[in-house]
Structure 1
Amino acid sequence: MSLDIGDAISNGVERLTDRNGLLLLGVFVAFGLVNTVVGQSLFTSYLEFVRSSFETMPGGPGMGEQPFPFAPGGQSMPLALPLSLPVVAALSLGLAVLSEALRIVTIRVVASDERATIPDTATRNIGMATVTAFLLGLVVNLAVGIGLVFLLLPGVFLAVSFYFVRPAIALEDKGLDALSRSWELATGNRIDLFLLLVLVWFISLLASIPATILNFVSPIAGALVGVVVNAVVLVFGIAVATDAFLQLRTDEDEDDDIGAVDADSEFFDAEREEL
């Protein structure tokens, strides 16, 4: 049985709007706000570092040449804080790891039958799962990025094939074999998964329009609305991917059961023939 895209989308919306989904949404809004502040601070700190290096170069602005062409801050980065580059870089790395932990917990919460309370299993083996998801995420993003830059189709193919790496880590405690597990579940379902990814991307694009427009009116308001929208899109996307993973895993189990029944039937038929 193939993937039911409609069920994946509707179940994703349902899990987003139940009590646990709204709780996770609040956590991701808070995380997104911190991440936005750190991200803008990293950008402005890097520009300030480049500007300082540019000014001290022989023939730079101090020697009467043209000034540094990029402003280090400005209205486009209204939430940036005056942090040093090493500090803000360390914060960015820490937030990237924390993001993986939150994704693992979200997958487990969405996959559980609990709707009103966070299940105890949500943080099971969270340290190892987070490290594995972080490292494999780097590998997958690098592979997909190279595929998209040089040839579009290989990048899309890899993105679809490794769509279930995080669910495999979160729900089946996979390690490096999460890559092969995701590939296994995607086999025979890549067209449906591609359509699902395109649909989720299109929904995300539509959701981002208000924040993009608002950013031209008020950068601060646009950034804050963007944080909320990004949190909604992220939790929704995780819920959809988790539901798709569970659908295909259930189909796999049913196929195994049918195969076992067929094997038993052949065995008993052979026994009857001998008798």
Structure 2
Amino acid sequence: MSLNVSRAVREAAGRTVSRNGVVFIVVFAVLGALSAVVTDSAFLLLDSLATEVEGAEPVDVPAPLGVALPGSVLLLLGLVWLLANAAASVVAMRVLVGEHTDTIPDDLFSRRLTRATMSDIAAEIVAAVLIGIGLLLLVVPGIFLAICFYFSRPLIAVEDRGFVDALAESWRLSRGNRLRVFALLVVVVLVGLAVSVPTTLVSALFGGAPAVGSVLGIVLGAVTTVFGLAVVARAFAQLRGDEPETEHADEGEHDEWDDPAGVEW
């Protein structure tokens, strides 16, 4: 099935401003705040450690949301954020792929959430490493891999696939629609850049209160996150015929990586 880019973007925008979309914006804003606190606190910790080393230069990085916390606590909070963010992304994907805009059925929380969360983390790490290597080498291979792995998250969240199976099936599912998927990636990036403009302006206006810009950035970042998830979800729903299956055949059945001979865009 051919992917309709404009339809996916329109539907994603509608889902982002729906009741469920707003709920997820709040969830990801809270997670974004936790991430910012952990990051800024880590900079404060590094700065304090640097002052104890003779001849070491201070880190000197703005950390408006930083709190003086020991390293062990920061590691624990970082782990909590990683797990919570992945779990929230899985649930959001399940909701956004379906037709739920005002309520969230209980089974979307309860169905194999732990397994899906761990698979999502593994898939994101593997994809990020491979894409990063591709970008460092010639840029184009990294972009190609980002396109091919674009649907791994909905495959994990909706079809309960393992991370290897999800990456392989995403590769197959993107075949024939890769230029359109690239267009979706461009749209999401442009929206992210547009959203960053107000944050930059507020940071400049409230230079004496950097926390104001940080908080606005967290909120707008949450909006961008939900929109990005919604774009993937609605594109996936199209390619799965708008009614994606919740169960799939034995893992490995669709493990097809047979592209190199004649790459199909």
TM-score normalised by structure 1 residue count: 0.82
* Structure-2 residue corresponding to 1:146: 133
* Structure-1 residue corresponding to 2:170: 182
CA contact (8 A) 1:13 1:236 kept: yes
* Structure-2 residue corresponding to 1:225: 216
| Residue 209 (structure 1) aligned to one of 197, 200, 213 | 197
Offset of residue 217 of structure 1: 3.1
CA RMSD of aligned residues (A): 1.8
* Structure-2 residue corresponding to 1:94: 80
Runs of 5+ consecutive residues of structure 2 not aligned to the other structure: 245-265
CA contact (8 A) 1:112 1:119 kept: no
* Structure-2 residue corresponding to 1:257: none
SS where residue 90 of structure 1 aligns?
A: helix
* Structure-1 residue corresponding to 2:232: 241
CA contact (8 A) 1:49 1:85 kept: no
CA distance in 2, matches of 1:85, 1:50: 14
Which structure has the larger Rg over C-alpha atoms? 1
CA distance in 1, matches of 2:131, 2:51: 33
* Structure-1 residue corresponding to 2:104: 118
CA distance in 1, matches of 2:242, 2:31: 35
The one-letter amino acid of 2:74's match is V
* Structure-1 residue corresponding to 2:67: 81
SS where residue 240 of structure 2 aligns?
A: helix
* Structure-2 residue corresponding to 1:3: 3
User: Does the C-alpha gap of structure 1 residues 171 and 45 become closer, same or farther in structure 2, counting only changes over 3 Å?
Assistant: same
CA contact (8 A) 1:45 1:72 kept: no
SS where residue 250 of structure 1 aligns?
A: coil
CA distance in 1, matches of 2:226, 2:28: 8
Offset of residue 22 of structure 1: 1.0
CA distance in 2, matches of 1:101, 1:251: 23
The one-letter amino acid of 1:246's match is A
User: Does the C-alpha gap of structure 1 residues 252 and 35 become closer, same or farther in structure 2, counting only changes over 3 Å?
Assistant: closer
Offset of residue 145 of structure 1: 0.6
The one-letter amino acid of 2:107's match is T
SS where residue 66 of structure 2 aligns?
A: coil
* Structure-1 residue corresponding to 2:261: none
**Comparing both structures, which one devotes a greater share of its residues to helix?**
1
CA distance in 1, matches of 2:213, 2:238: 37
CA contact (8 A) 1:29 1:228 kept: yes
* Structure-2 residue corresponding to 1:200: 188
CA distance in 1, matches of 2:47, 2:153: 34
Offset of residue 47 of structure 1: 3.4
CA contact (8 A) 1:108 1:121 kept: no
* Aligned sequence identity (%): 37
CA distance in 2, matches of 1:188, 1:84: 50
Offset of residue 118 of structure 1: 0.8
- Report matched runs for 1:26-175 at 5 Å: 26-52=26-52, 55=53, 60-61=54-55, 68-71=56-59, 76-123=62-109, 124-175=111-162
The C-alpha deviation readout for 1:56-75, integer Å capped at 9, x for no partner, is xxxx33xxxxxx333456xx
Offset of residue 50 of structure 1: 4.1
CA distance in 2, matches of 1:162, 1:131: 17
Runs of 5+ consecutive residues of structure 1 not aligned to the other structure: 62-67, 254-275
